[in-house]
Amino acid sequence: MSTLATNTGHPLQSLASFVRKSKERYILVEMRYAIAGAIAAILALSTAPVRADNDLMKRALQDLKPIPSVVPAVKDNAVTHEKVDLGKLLFFDPRLSASEIISCNTCHNLATGGVDAGPTSVGHGWQKGPRRAPTVYNAVFNVAQFWDGRAADLKAQAKGPVQASVEMNATPDHVVKTLSSMPDYVALFKKAFPNEASPVTFDNFAKALEAFEATLITPASKFDQFLEGDGNALNAQEKAGLTLFLDKGCVACHNGINVGGQDYFPFGVVETPGADVLPAADKGRFAVTKTASDEYVFRAAPLRNVALRAPYFHSGQVWSLKQAVGVMGASQLWAKLTDKEEDDIVAFLGTLTGQLPKIEYPVLPVRTNTTPEPSLAK
């Protein structure tokens, strides 16, 4: 018998054993490849949404920024605790108006999204204002104030309504006389403006209001959390709405920290809305610049917390956010949005609602015998 036969048995048996073992090794290798392929497929499927979220975040961050969690600095007006405390009292004090009925909070109600309830505000003597009150929340991030941008900053804006006959119907002299008549206010102005001999002035009134309003920011919205890297902060519909917001071109006007408020645009680029939405008599920024190309041009509305503050547009005539989205698609983008697209964009806009600051209604300084009495005269 040969050595092969002696060591391994019959040659055919040895060959069969070799083939069997080879098949086993082949099957084992194939199984390993199959398992590796399955694992790779699972990993690919599990990481695909993460990659998609990262891509969407990167796209959004090209034009949109999260609201910072700290109060921003304002030009030529240090935001100190003393100014903020004083400004808060001024914001809620109706005695700065001629009637002593209207305060800043009347038209910019902090409990209802920083706006009032109606299409246009009701001011002195039940007069109706010409435009919808803009929100005071996050207004510090706007390029300028008012729909037409006629106030460069919140200091300038603060001086406008108090003097407007259709709003608070007061004067700088009335404001200073009222504040100077109350010792508590005088003491608070001295704390807020310690280096001034006579700190109770109309300019300092405006600076204190600006300091308080600069604190009215609403960070940590679902959208902010998404921009900061949390892919789970938005659900599928909200992400679809954000994608549409970017793809359809909404972001061309509504960009920056405030998702708007950064520049001026004509209302009715493609199709002019009806006269109820775009009143012919209100020519927007033209009233400020007197430039023909600025007719019916308005500052892009900031969309932060937009779900909280119907009705919409400067005319305040659209009560449904979905309808407002449709109007903007038709008038600005040449896009007839489908029902689902409108719903998806509205879902995204809902993610812009941030954490509103907790504001406790203050107890105001007590009037004295020298405090001006209210007047309803025009």
**24 given a catalytic annotation:** no
Range name among 204-208, 241-245, 255-259, 373-377 with the lowest pLDDT average: 373-377
Q: In the CATH scheme, what is the homologous superfamily, with its name and number, of domain 81-214?
A: Cytochrome c-like domain (1.10.760.10)
Query: Averaged over 118-144, what is the pLDDT?
Result: 96
Catalytic residue (one of 167, 213, 238, 342): 167
Residue 8 CA to residue 17 CA, distance in Å, equals: 10
Residue spans of the domains in the chain: they are 2-67+219-350, 81-214
Question: Any bridge partners for residue 122, and if so which?
Answer: 128
The answer to whether residue 193 scores a pLDDT higher than 60 is yes
Q: What is the pLDDT of residue 49?
A: 74
Considering only CA atoms, which of 306, 318, 310 is closest in space to residue 279? Answer: 318
Assigned CATH topology for domain 2-67+219-350: Cytochrome Bc1 Complex; Chain D, domain 2 (1.10.760)
* Distance of alpha carbon 288 from the chain centroid: 25
The answer to whether residue 5 scores a pLDDT higher than 50 is no
| 29-65 pLDDT per residue, tens | 566 666 766 665 665 556 677 888 999 999 999 999 9
**Interior/surface letters 91-121, b for 16+ CB within 10 angstroms, e for the rest:** bbbbbbbbbbebbbbbbbbbeebbbbeebbb
Q: What is the pLDDT of residue 14?
A: 63
Query: Averaged over 86-90, what is the pLDDT?
Result: 98
The reply to whether domains 2-67+219-350 and 81-214 share a CATH topology is yes
Range name among 38-47, 84-93, 307-316 with the lowest pLDDT average: 38-47
Considering only CA atoms, which of 367, 362, 366 is closest in space to residue 88? Answer: 362
Considering only CA atoms, which of 266, 272, 265, 356 is closest in space to residue 309? Answer: 356
* Distance of alpha carbon 224 from the chain centroid: 10
Residue 11 CA to residue 284 CA, distance in Å, equals: 101
In percent, the amount of the chain with pLDDT more than 70 equals 88
Q: What is the pTM of this model?
A: 0.86
